[in-house]
Amino acid sequence: MDTKDKEALLAPRLEQLREELATLDTPRCVEKELMQAFQQRFRPKRTWYGFLTLPQWGAAGALCSLTAMAVLLALSPHQSVSVGGPPLIGIDGGAAFVALDSLERIEAEPDARLVEAEVPRTALAPLGVPVSPDNAADTVRAEMLVAADGQPLAVRLSTTN
């Protein structure tokens, strides 16, 4: 028996079922009440993470991240930074060198040479040399440690002008 024969046998019975169902008049709210009853009886199981909505999970994640950052910052070692204090060139009356480049670069330089120069006082202001309008045009005698390519590595100021 093929499908066409089965459909031919079922067609009159399905038609009879449709006619009888058309005579029944069910109220409009029956389907709604049935769906509510079904939902109450078969509630979806809640998971451990289902008690928060997606935006609440986002806020919780942001709060945890901020807390972790605050704890890391609180526990990280800090170095105290002092502003002011004695100028760098005041050590040993100007006899110590002041590094202008990293110590690694200075130690790695094979052909460093010592050069004497007259340096304008205004150029040494970032190193702590006091500059006023009266002495801004003055020069300071300095010894400079210079790399082979001419880059200054360190400077030492002379006590004589």
What gap in Å lies between CA 92 and CA 111, rounded to an integer?
A: 26
- Specify the pLDDT at position 89: 44
Tell me what pLDDT residue 93 has: 53
Positions in the chain short of pLDDT 70: 1, 79-95, 159-161
Nearest to 104 by CA among 153, 155, 156: 153
3-state SS, residue 114: strand
Other C-beta atoms closer than 10 Å to the C-beta of 104 total 8
| pLDDT tens per residue, range 98-134 | 788 888 888 888 888 888 888 888 887 887 777 888 8
In this prediction the pTM is 0.38
Single out the residue of 160, 139, 157 nearest to residue 97, CA to CA.
Answer: 157
Q: What is the pLDDT of residue 60?
A: 93
